Amino acid sequence: MTMEKAEKRYQLLIDSARRHLSNQENGGKPMIHIGMATCGLASGAAATKAAFEEALSEIDLDVGIIPVGCLGHCYAEPLVVIHNPGFPPICYHNVTTGKAKALVRAFLKEGDPLFEYVLGAMEENDLIPSVMDFPRFNLEKRVVMEKCGLINPEEIDGYLAGGGYSGLLKALKSSPDAVIEEITESGLRGRGGAGFPTGRKWRIARDALGSHKVIICNADEGDPGAYMDRTLIESNPHQLLEGMAIAAHAVGAEEGIVYVRAEYPLAVTRMENAIRQATASGLLGKGILGTSFNFECTIFEGSGAFVCGEETALIESLEGNRGMPRHRPPYPVQCGLWKQPTIINNVKTLSSIPHILNRGAQWYKNIGSEKSPGTAIFSVVGKVVHPGLVEIAMGTTLRTLIFDICGGIPNHRRFKAVQIGGPSGGCLPESFLDTPIDFDSLTKAGAMMGSGGIVVMDEDDCIADVTRYFLDFTQKESCGKCTFCRIGTLHLLNALHRITRGEGREGDIELLQVLSEEIKEGSLCGLGKTAPNPVLTTLKYFMEEYEAHILEKRCPAMRCRALTAFYIDLELCARGCDACVGSCPVEAIFTTANRKKAIDQEKCVKCGECVAACPPEYDAVKKVSPPELAPIIERPKEQ
């Protein structure tokens, strides 16, 4: 009986959402969708929107503007999709204010779609090539990001109109045990890094004794360069709320907390807004959809430490203590927030839940690989042509991801390595490009899924320097509780500093190797246990680079300043040309006796400005490592 009522109420919500949306479109008026997640805003989406508004008001056209989330194509932001009746929806890239004004005049007023600005059409048609013809689109498998960038994250209607919250309805209609069974059957593994089976976690929580179980969504996302969780919240917050509500129903919780980084103000605002709207629609709060199920959700703004993403530290921080990890067991599902059974799941994990309930465990299992079903979302940055967010089926190889989907390495440089899993992950060389991306294969290779940050490096990146960068991050983020991580990581970092400064010592490689293994073994929490991964993998796969630094004082990538020098090839230098002289910030360039130029090595700060200043037809400034390779040219006395 109540279920029939719930179904009716849900149908009313859907109908009203659809009516709302079609009213907005007002019988087929043109609509402009502007990507306004943080990535879009950072690229100037707000100015683009203002330019559209201004241009439209000038010619008095009735066009709707809808802010949407992120499509994942961060290299092309601001992205705009224009729905102009008579045309397929067209996606435009890098829409500056100027392009916005031009589009209003040419396309919306006169019907010329300005092909030169087009990225592609959003659906198949005869007029304009579809974006689906690009590998960046068609090799992806969008499940969790399906609606990102297509719906308005600030209104619940867009999500509802596409069948949103039907997974929750389905869950309410079946028993909690059946929901857990379905999730277990789907094989979903936690996307927060470790890949723990979600169904099993929920089962333990369901069976645990406790009067006040809690669902926590972990949106702390502290990895440098990772922003998948932020994008999911900014682009589709209701998907996450639906997942949390389903989890609550399954384990018997009535309280949910979204733990968001305080540095994500837009995500916080959109989440607050979504909670308000879902509550007003009867999808959250007391008596959801008229049933007896209650679920209240609140937001907690995290305190900005990477380690607070670790589940026990997260709980400490929620309880108002220092965000320091605790020994596990007991695990939070047994004894978590205020000693109650607590489920902590990542944003991506929870956002997958509605899809699994809607389309079934079998469907989900068919995506991805056997032991790691489903999709993975990565933020791919570094030396690739198309950086951004990518959702792929698990089991896709690194090669496909880097070379096909993300367009490969720019400027005809050679691929060197890929760091996968953020600062706790590992650095894999070319021979691992055919490794399938899934939890177990990556762990086997010495890397890990981690949070999903991928940094691609080419031949110009120095492995020791990159490792130092990651260690610098983890060392600074160590909470300081336990001995190995607190002190050990600093010794590792100091050794890496020495090596990249050309002061590496004979025992340094052994120190890095042995201490890394001991820190992994001896540390209390996942931060310390994984912090040495970049060191261990680079030692394993790029030992020759370390040896070059220490034994030959040579940086093979010519990155480490102390190990490189610039000089001007006198054969190539054009007599009388002085293009480089003014570019040098420290006046290290002087004129030789035969009116060519040379660099005073004592003064040179190795900024590389002269390389850029030397006209390409001469290309006379050379960089070498070790620095002794630079010929020494005396300054003429009578200057």
Partner 1 sequence: MVRIFVDDKEIFVDEKKSLLQGCLDNDIYIPNLCFLEDMDDPPGSCRMCFVEIEGMSQPVISCKIEPKADMVVRTATEEVIRLQRTSLRLLLSIHEAKCKACPSNKKCVLQQLVRRLGVRIRPRRYDHLTRSVVEDSPHPFLKIVHSRCILCGRCIHECRKQNGNALLTFARRGIDTIVTTYGEEEEMWLTCDPCLACIEACPVSAILLKDALSEETLSEDETVQAAEYQKQPAEGDGDVRQVENSTAHDSKVKRHEIHRISAEGDAIEQVAESASTDEAQAQCGHRMHRRR
Ligand X SMILES: Cc1cc2nc3c(=O)[nH]c(=O)nc-3n(C[C@H](O)[C@H](O)[C@H](O)COP(=O)(O)O)c2cc1C
Which does residue 194 touch among ligand SF4, ligand X, partner 1, none (CB within 5 to 8 A, set by kind)? Answer: ligand X
Residues that bind partner 1 (CB under 8 A): 305, 322, 326-327, 475-484, 486-488, 490-491, 494, 511, 515, 518, 521-524
CA distance 407 to 402: 7
Which does residue 236 touch among partner 1, ligand X, ligand SF4, none (CB within 5 to 8 A, set by kind)? Answer: none
CA distance 318 to 337: 8
Nearer to ligand SF4, 168 or 525 (CB): 525
Figure out which of the listed residues 78, 187, 192, 532 binds ligand X, where binding follows CB under 6 A: 192
Tell the smallest beta-carbon distance from residue 535 to partner 1 (Å): 15
Site for ligand X, residues 502 to 541, rule: CB under 6 A: 525-527
Figure out which of the listed residues 140, 157, 220, 458 binds ligand X, where binding follows CB under 6 A: 220
Figure out which of the listed residues 349, 419, 441, 478 binds ligand X, where binding follows CB under 6 A: 349
CA distance 582 to 440: 55
Burial 72-91 (b: 16+ CB within 10 A, else e): bbbbbbbbbbbbbeebbbbb
Figure out which of the listed residues 149, 153, 164, 190 binds ligand X, where binding follows CB under 6 A: 190
Orientation angle between helical segments 543-551 and 489-500, nearest 10 degrees: 60
Token pair of 492, please? Answer: 């590792």
Figure out which of the listed residues 158, 222, 374, 627 binds ligand X, where binding follows CB under 6 A: 222
Is residue 221 within the footprint of ligand X (CB under 6 A)? yes
> Among 217, 64, 82, 230, which Cα is nearest to 155's?
64
Tell the smallest beta-carbon distance from residue 523 to ligand SF4 (Å): 4
Is residue 196 within the footprint of ligand X (CB under 6 A)? yes
Token pair of 574, please? Answer: 């054009």
The answer to whether 527 and 306 are in contact (CB under 8 A) is yes
Which does residue 518 touch among ligand SF4, ligand X, partner 1, none (CB within 5 to 8 A, set by kind)? Answer: partner 1
The answer to whether 231 and 70 are in contact (CB under 8 A) is yes
Residue 177's CB is within 10 A of a number of other CB atoms, namely 11
Measured between its terminal Cα atoms, the distance across the chain in Å is 99
Nearer to partner 1, 424 or 478 (CB): 478
Site for ligand X, residues 271 to 310, rule: CB under 6 A: 306-307, 309-310
Three-state secondary structure call for residue 417: strand
With vertex at residue 490, the alpha carbon angle to CA 488 and CA 493, rounded to the nearest 5 degrees, is 115
Tell the smallest beta-carbon distance from residue 216 to ligand X (Å): 8
Nearest residue to the partner ligand SF4, using Cβ = 528
Taking the C-alpha atoms of 353, 356, 358 and 362 in order, what is their torsion angle to the nearest 10 degrees? Answer: -170
Return the residue matching tokens 């060519």: 596
Token pair of 314, please? Answer: 């997260």
Beta bridge partners of 521: none
What 8-state DSSP symbol labels residue 310? S
Tell the smallest beta-carbon distance from residue 120 to partner 1 (Å): 47
Is residue 191 within the footprint of ligand X (CB under 6 A)? yes
Nearer to partner 1, 179 or 515 (CB): 515
Q: Which stretch binds ligand X (CB under 6 A): 214-222, 269-277, 407-415, 624-632?
A: 214-222
Tell the smallest beta-carbon distance from residue 626 to ligand X (Å): 37
CA distance 466 to 471: 9
Question: Helix H segments across 319-462?
Answer: 347-359, 361-365, 398-399, 439-445
Nearer to partner 1, 340 or 478 (CB): 478
Residues that bind ligand SF4 (CB under 6 A): 307, 325, 478-482, 485-486, 523-525, 527-528
> Among 276, 280, 283, which Cα is nearest to 299's?
276
Which does residue 490 touch among ligand SF4, partner 1, ligand X, none (CB within 5 to 8 A, set by kind)? Answer: partner 1
Which run of H or of E encompasses 34?
A: strand 31-35
Burial 350-368 (b: 16+ CB within 10 A, else e): bbbbbbbbbeebeebbebb
Nearer to ligand SF4, 298 or 483 (CB): 483
Q: What residue type is 145 in one-letter code?
A: M
Beta strands in 220-285 (DSSP E): 255-261
Nearer to partner 1, 326 or 383 (CB): 326
Tell the smallest beta-carbon distance from residue 342 to ligand X (Å): 11
Nearer to ligand SF4, 481 or 554 (CB): 481
Nearer to ligand X, 190 or 504 (CB): 190
Which does residue 222 touch among ligand X, ligand SF4, partner 1, none (CB within 5 to 8 A, set by kind)? Answer: ligand X
Nearer to ligand X, 20 or 529 (CB): 529
Nearer to ligand SF4, 138 or 321 (CB): 321
Which run of H or of E encompasses 19?
A: helix 2-25
Site for ligand X, residues 421 to 480, rule: CB under 6 A: 451
Tell the smallest beta-carbon distance from residue 302 to partner 1 (Å): 15
Give how far Cα 477 sits from Cα of 221, 326, 349, Å: 13, 16, 25
Which run of H or of E encompasses 463?
A: helix 463-477
Nearer to ligand X, 527 or 630 (CB): 527
Tell the smallest beta-carbon distance from residue 479 to ligand SF4 (Å): 3
CA distance 80 to 65: 10
Tell the smallest beta-carbon distance from residue 491 to partner 1 (Å): 5
The answer to whether 549 and 600 are in contact (CB under 8 A) is no
Tell the smallest beta-carbon distance from residue 486 to ligand SF4 (Å): 5
Which does residue 140 touch among partner 1, ligand X, ligand SF4, none (CB within 5 to 8 A, set by kind)? Answer: none
Which does residue 349 touch among ligand SF4, ligand X, partner 1, none (CB within 5 to 8 A, set by kind)? Answer: ligand X
CA distance 610 to 468: 27
Contact set with ligand X (CB under 6 A): 190-194, 196, 218, 220-222, 306-307, 309-311, 344-346, 349, 451, 525-527
